[in-house]
Amino acid sequence: MQTDSSFTFVLFGGTGDLSMRKILPALFEAHRAGGMLADSGKIVAVARHATDRGEYIQWVNEHVKPHVSKNGVDEAAWASFLERIEFVNIDLGKAEDFVHLRDAIQDLPGIRVFYLATGPSLFVPICHALASVGLNANSRIVLEKPLGYDLKSSNAINDAVGEIFAEEQIYRIDHYLGKEPVQNLLALRFGNALFEPLWRREWVESIQITIAEELGVEARGDFYDNTGALRDMVQNHLLQLLSIVAMEPPHSMDSDSVRDEKLRVLRALKPIDPRDIGKVAVRGQYHAGVIRGTAVPAYATEPGVKPDSATETFVALKVEIENWRWAGVPFFLRTGKRLADRVAEIVVNFRAVPHSALGASALRAGANRLVIRLQPNETIRLYCLAKQPGEGMNLASVHLDLAFDQFFREGQMEAYQRLLLDVINGRLALFVRRDEQEAAWRWVEPILNEWKASNKPPKPYASGTWGPAASSAMLAQHGTCWLEEEN
Interatomic CA distance for residues 471 and 208, integer angstroms: 12
The CA angle 448-310-119, to the nearest 5 degrees, is: 70
Q: Is the peptide bond before 376 cis (omega within 30 degrees of 0)?
A: yes
First to last CA, the chain: 31
What domains appear along the chain, each with residue ranges and CATH number? 7-144 (3.40.50.720), 177-413+433-476 (3.30.360.10)
Cβ-based neighbour number of residue 388 at 10 Å: 13
Q: pLDDT tens digits, residue range 186-237?
A: 888 888 888 888 999 999 999 999 999 999 998 888 989 999 999 999 999 9
Question: Are the C-beta atoms of 171 and 143 separated by less than 8 Å?
Answer: yes
Q: Tell me, what's the pLDDT at 484? A: 81
Question: Are the C-beta atoms of 67 and 20 separated by less than 8 Å?
Answer: yes
Q: Which helix (H) or strand (E) holds 28?
A: helix 24-33
Cβ-based neighbour number of residue 164 at 10 Å: 20
Q: pLDDT tens digits, residue range 449-472?
A: 999 998 889 999 999 999 999 999
Total number of residues shown for the chain: 487
What sections of 106-202 are H helices per DSSP?
123-132, 151-162, 180-190
Residues in Cβ contact with 483 at an 8 Å cutoff, skipping those fewer than 6 apart: 208, 210, 345, 347, 369, 371
Burial class of residue 203 (count of CB atoms within 10 Å of its CB; 0-12, 13-18, 19+): middle
Residues pairing with 12 in the sheet:
46, 116
Cβ-based neighbour number of residue 250 at 10 Å: 17
Q: From the candidates 49, 237, 251, 287, which is the catalytic residue?
A: 237
Question: Pairing mode, if any, of strands 294-296 and 289-291?
Answer: antiparallel
- Whether residue 237 lies in the annotated active site: yes
Q: How confident is the model at residue 426 (pLDDT cuts 50, 70, 90)?
A: very high
Average pLDDT over residues 89-113: 92
Between residues 282 and 396, which one has the greater pLDDT? 282
The CA angle 52-54-59, to the nearest 5 degrees, is: 95
Q: Which of 386, 401, 441 is nearest to 157 (CA)?
A: 441
Q: Tell me, what's the pLDDT at 398? A: 85
Q: Tell me, what's the pLDDT at 1? A: 47
Average pLDDT over residues 32-51: 89
Between residues 443 and 405, which one has the greater pLDDT? 443
Q: Which of 317, 221, 305, 308 is nearest to 277 (CA)?
A: 317
Q: How confident is the model at residue 360 (pLDDT cuts 50, 70, 90)?
A: low
Average pLDDT over residues 283-306: 96
Average pLDDT over residues 140-160: 92
Question: Pairing mode, if any, of strands 395-403 and 379-387?
Answer: antiparallel
Q: Tell me, what's the pLDDT at 276? A: 92
Average pLDDT over residues 88-98: 90
